[in-house]
Every structure is written in C-alpha cells, then in structure tokens.
C-alpha cells in the first residue's frame, strides 16, 4: 500500500470527524440522504406483488419498474460527478435533492404504471446529482486523509443499510397503509435536508473552468441505460429477439465508443488514468458485485416468500429483520477491521462469507417445505455480514488517494459501479434461469472475487 493509503486505513477503526460536532452533524445529514437514495431503490421490492395487482403490471413490467430508478441513476452519475466538480458540491447537492423530492411526490400520486415508471426514472436522475455531490461535500468535510479514510469506511455500509431499510420499511408501510406512503420517506428527507444544507454543510467553491463534456455524458448515459434496458427485457423476451438485441447492441456500441471519444478530449468526463490504480478497479468491481447479489436476494426472496410460501407483506418484511441485524453488526465491526487488516483482506473475507450465504439461500431458500429457521435464516445472516464487510472495504479501496478536485468524479464512479451492479448485473443474473440458479451464480462470483481480493492483499501496491 502507499503511505497515504496505509495511513488512512490504519486509522479507519477510530471514529469522529476533524473538528467537533459540526462535522458529525454534517456527516449525519449526508449519510441520511445516502441511505434514503438507496432506500428508494429498494422501496418497491417487497410490495411488488401488491403494486402489480393494483396497477395491472406483469412480472416483466415489475422488473422494469424495479430497474427504472437504477438505470437513470447509474447512467447519469458520471455527469453528476462532473457537475459537482465544476459548480461545487453543495449547490449541485441541493439541486439534485429538489428534483429527487418532487419526483418522489409524483411517484406517490402516480395513477398508473406509465406515470409511476416515469417518476422512478426522474427519481434516479435527481439521485444521480445528489450522490456524487454528497461525496464531494464529504471530502470537504474531511480534508485530511486520516479522517476521510475513517469516513469512507463507514460510508461503505450506508448503501446496504439503505437497501435493507427500503425492504423492511416499505413492506411495513405497505401492510399498514399503502405502498404509496413509502414514497413519503424520500419526500420528507429531501425537504428536511434542503432546509439544513446551508447550516450544516460547508460551502464548496466551483472548480476550474472545465467543460462539461456533453458528448461523453451522452455516450455514457445512453450506453449504460440502453444496455441495462436490454438486459431487463430478457425476462419477457428471448436473447435473440429484437426487443433485447436492439437496445443491448446499441448500448454496448455506445459504451465501446466512450473510451475512444474520451481520449480525444482535453478534459474528459472520465480521465483514463483514474481507473489505472488496481486497488480502485478492485474496489469498484467489489461494489458492483455486492450490489448485484443484494438486489437479487431482495427481489427474488420478496416475491418467493409471498408467492411460494404464502407470506403476507408484513411477514415478508419481518423475515428480513435478521438480515438487518447482521448487517448493522458487521457494519459497526468493519472500520476497526479495515484499520487492522487492510481493506483487501476485509473485502475478501466479506465475499467469502457472502458466497456461503448465497449458496445456502440458493439450495434451500425457495423450497416451501424447508422451515424458515433452516432454509432461510442461515443465509440471511451470513450474506449481510459478508456484504457489509465487502462494501466497507471496497469503498476505501475505490476512493484511496483521490484528490479533492476529483471528489465528485470519485463519487460518480463509485455510485455508478453500485447502481450498475444493482441494475445491469442484477438483470443479467435474473436472465440466467431459475431463481436458485441466479443466486448460485452470484455465489460463485462472490467466491471468485474473494480469492482475487485476498490475493491482492499479498501483493505490494
């Protein structure tokens, strides 16, 4: 490891900001918003059958509804990061929150599938500005490498916590009130955060007069969105059909053209050297795979528990309580473990634990004849413990050594990996076949990345 990276990770187990309570309050605000961004991604998972029944949506439509937020989120994140670095993190954070809050209100009031789908896309667009801008403000809150390393070790677990809260909270809200009330959470949090932005967050001056690289933004956004959309449609159409091949081929072609277009730019949207660090590449791959595995479990088990085991919406949410408990416990343990053993080892151990949990869920989780305590509970404890560790370690790896002028870019790239995993890789896993096969494939991928991470820990930086 570099000296800077070693210093950051060696102190990751300690808590606290760099200058008193104001930093803690600022971190609490940013962290709460980050949790809600991912809460919103997962908020339709448990009540999906109820939404489908009320609005007359097929299984393919439900998958598209699940993916819509993540597609626009992932597709626009690089551009959102450029906006934050160009105009300053705090103003872009506030603007994105405004779009996010309005779109959430429209989702709650949607009269039908098309309106709800459009609102979900708009939510993702707002979130694509909020997430990287929030990380740019976080970098301003903790300018010292030690403090920033500690902050990122904690930040890495917030996304999985948000996904879990989305499943638990939306299920409970749907059972007691209506699935529409789940959208009140992002509306209220966005409104509260907007009221506190100037009081709790530092001003982030605009960056140098850089171009926005609109051609690069169009290529990245359209490529990620079209490729992800094509994969989502494999649920309803064969791989050789036009509805799948046309958007998938177009998306891949645009993504292939993106690096060549960026090399010709004096100020590219994604500087080629940014991904040269092998630790950063490992961290981004780990974030994408962790998100894909978690999204697959939430989606498949939420449907399976209700449709195969006959669980109610409220009981489905209750079934994930052990998941949340293990996630929080492992998340609290992650920063000191990173400080002691390094992010590569913690990431590898997390993937090993998660691989075992996925394998157990694939083997017995979809068999109605196997009791919950034996068929689901072990996997629902092992998987979140592993994912919390891998996410925390990967967040440190992905952001180590990033200069403050590229904080928005780092946030955009990190969140792009996460949202691409939760949408594109998630859709790819679902396209493999049965639910058990999808989780089995995720288990194999987790085990492979565990080996890569542990191997990287033995190599010099």
Residues 248-297 pLDDT 10s: 889 889 888 888 787 777 777 777 777 777 888 888 889 888 888 887 88
User: Between vectors from CA 195 to CA 189 and to CA 199, what angle results, nearest 5°?
Assistant: 120
Of the chain, the percentage scoring pLDDT greater than 90 comes to 15
Q: What mean pLDDT is reported for the chain?
A: 80
pLDDT of residue 8: 36
Residue of 420, 401, 392 whose CA lies nearest to 280: 401
Least confident of 90-94, 146-150, 174-178, 352-356: 146-150
Backbone angles phi, psi at 367, to 5 degrees: -95, 110
**394: exposed, middle or buried (C-beta count within 10 Å: 0-12, 13-18, 19+)?**
buried
Quick one: CA torsion of 104, 109, 110, 115, rounded to 10 degrees?
-50
- pLDDT tens-digit readout, 321-352: 888 888 888 888 888 888 888 888 999 999 99
Query: Which residue's entry shows tokens 């288990």?
Result: 443
Most confident of 30-34, 168-172, 263-267: 30-34
pLDDT of residue 71: 80
Residues 23, 141: contact at Cβ < 8 Å?
Answer: yes
pLDDT of residue 106: 94
Confidence of residue 404 (pLDDT cuts 50, 70, 90): low
Residues 417, 359: contact at Cβ < 8 Å?
Answer: no
Residue 28: other Cβ atoms inside 10 A: 12
pLDDT of residue 11: 35
Residues 141, 150: contact at Cβ < 8 Å?
Answer: no
Residues 285, 229: contact at Cβ < 8 Å?
Answer: no
Residue 459: other Cβ atoms inside 10 A: 8
- Distance from C-alpha of 381 to C-alpha of 154, rounded to nearest angstrom: 20
Confidence of residue 20 (pLDDT cuts 50, 70, 90): very low
- Output the pTM of the full model: 0.72
Res. 6: pLDDT tops 50:
no
| pLDDT greater at residue 380 or residue 420 | 380
- Mean local confidence (pLDDT), 431-446: 82
pLDDT of residue 5: 40
Residue 75: other Cβ atoms inside 10 A: 29
- Distance from C-alpha of 439 to C-alpha of 453, rounded to nearest angstrom: 21
- Distance from C-alpha of 64 to C-alpha of 73, rounded to nearest angstrom: 14
Confidence of residue 147 (pLDDT cuts 50, 70, 90): confident
- Mean local confidence (pLDDT), 392-414: 77
- Mean local confidence (pLDDT), 139-150: 75
Confidence of residue 448 (pLDDT cuts 50, 70, 90): very high
Query: Which residue's entry shows tokens 């090993």?
Result: 352
Residue of 376, 395, 263, 282 whose CA lies nearest to 326: 376
Res. 96: pLDDT tops 90:
yes
- Distance from C-alpha of 82 to C-alpha of 210, rounded to nearest angstrom: 9
Confidence of residue 460 (pLDDT cuts 50, 70, 90): low
**388: exposed, middle or buried (C-beta count within 10 Å: 0-12, 13-18, 19+)?**
buried
- Distance from C-alpha of 267 to C-alpha of 82, rounded to nearest angstrom: 11
Most confident of 240-244, 372-376, 383-387: 383-387
Of the chain, the percentage scoring pLDDT greater than 70 comes to 88
- Mean local confidence (pLDDT), 430-448: 82
Confidence of residue 392 (pLDDT cuts 50, 70, 90): confident
User: Between vectors from CA 153 to CA 142 and to CA 405, what angle results, nearest 5°?
Assistant: 40
- Mean local confidence (pLDDT), 79-94: 85
pLDDT of residue 410: 75
How far is residue 247 from each of residues 65, 243, 251, measured CA to CA in Å? 17, 7, 6
Confidence of residue 13 (pLDDT cuts 50, 70, 90): very low
pLDDT of residue 156: 65
pLDDT of residue 18: 38
Q: Which residues contact 403 (CB under 8 A, 6 or more apart)?
A: none
Residue of 153, 139, 134, 162 whose CA lies nearest to 391: 153
Res. 126: pLDDT tops 80:
yes
pLDDT of residue 93: 93
- pLDDT tens-digit readout, 207-252: 665 566 777 778 888 887 788 778 777 766 777 788 888 888 898 8
Confidence of residue 187 (pLDDT cuts 50, 70, 90): very high
Q: Which residues contact 253 (CB under 8 A, 6 or more apart)?
A: 223
Tell me what percent of the chain is helix, strand and coil, each rounded to the nearest 5. 80, 0, 20
- Distance from C-alpha of 74 to C-alpha of 206, rounded to nearest angstrom: 24
């Amino acid at each position: 490891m570099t000296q800077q990276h070693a210093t950051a990770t060696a102190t990751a187990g300690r808590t606290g900001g760099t200058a008193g309570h104001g930093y803690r309050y600022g971190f609490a605000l940013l962290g709460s918003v980050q949790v809600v961004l991912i809460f919103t991604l997962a908020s339709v998972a448990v009540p999906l059958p109820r939404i489908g029944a009320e609005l007359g949506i097929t299984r393919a439509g439900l998958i598209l509804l699940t993916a819509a937020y993540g597609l626009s989120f992932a597709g626009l994140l690089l551009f959102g990061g450029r906006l934050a670095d160009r105009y300053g993190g705090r103003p872009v954070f506030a603007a994105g929150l405004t779009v996010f809050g309005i779109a959430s209100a429209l989702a709650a009031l949607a009269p039908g599938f098309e309106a709800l789908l459009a609102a979900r896309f708009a939510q993702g667009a707002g979130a694509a500005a909020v997430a990287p801008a929030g990380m740019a403000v976080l970098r301003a809150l903790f300018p010292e490498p030690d403090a920033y390393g500690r902050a990122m070790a904690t930040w890495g677990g917030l996304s999985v916590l948000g996904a879990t809260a989305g499943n638990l909270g939306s299920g409970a809200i749907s059972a007691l009130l209506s699935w529409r009330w789940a959208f009140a959470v992002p509306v209220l949090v966005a409104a509260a955060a907007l009221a506190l932005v100037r009081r709790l967050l530092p001003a982030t001056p605009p960056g140098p007069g850089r171009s926005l690289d609109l051609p690069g933004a169009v290529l990245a956004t359209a490529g990620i969105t079209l490729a992800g959309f094509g994969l989502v449609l494999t649920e309803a159409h064969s791989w050789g059909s036009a509805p799948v091949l046309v958007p998938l081929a177009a998306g891949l072609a645009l993504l292939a053209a993106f690096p060549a277009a960026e090399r010709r730019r004096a100020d590219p949207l994604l500087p080629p050297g940014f991904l040269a660090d092998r630790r950063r590449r490992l961290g981004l791959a780990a974030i994408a795979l962790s998100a894909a595995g978690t999204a697959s479990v939430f989606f498949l088990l939420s449907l399976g528990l209700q449709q195969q085991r006959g669980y109610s919406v409220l009981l489905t949410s209750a079934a994930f309580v052990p998941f949340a408990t293990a996630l929080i416990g492992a998340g609290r343990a992650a920063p000191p473990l990173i400080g002691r053993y390094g992010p590569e080892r913690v990431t590898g151990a997390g993937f090993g634990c998660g691989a075992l949990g996925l394998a157990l869920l694939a083997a017995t989780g979809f068999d109605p004849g196997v009791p919950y305590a034996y068929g689901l509970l072990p996997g629902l404890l092992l998987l979140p413990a592993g994912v919390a560790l891998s996410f925390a370690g990967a967040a440190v790896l992905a952001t180590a050594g990033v200069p403050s002028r590229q904080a928005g870019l780092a946030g955009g790239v990190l969140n792009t990996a996460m949202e691409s995993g939760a949408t594109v890789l998630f859709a790819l896993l679902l396209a493999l076949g049965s639910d058990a096969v999808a989780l089995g494939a995720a288990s194999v991928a987790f085990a492979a990345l565990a080996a890569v991470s542990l191997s990287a820990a033995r190599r010099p930086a």
